[in-house]
Amino acid sequence: MYSYGIVNRGEHPIVAKIQISPNRHDFADDVEEVIDSGATLALVPVRFLYYARVAVRAEDPDQSSMVDVYFQARTVA
- The one-letter code for the residue type at 28 is A
Q: How confident is the model at residue 76 (pLDDT cuts 50, 70, 90)?
A: confident
- pLDDT tens-digit readout, 8-25: 999 999 999 999 999 999
- Cα–Cα distance for residue pair 33/26, rounded to 1 Å: 21
Given a contact cutoff of 8 angstroms between Cβ atoms, the answer to whether 33 and 67 are in contact is no
Beta bridge partners of 28: 20
pLDDT at 74 over 90: no
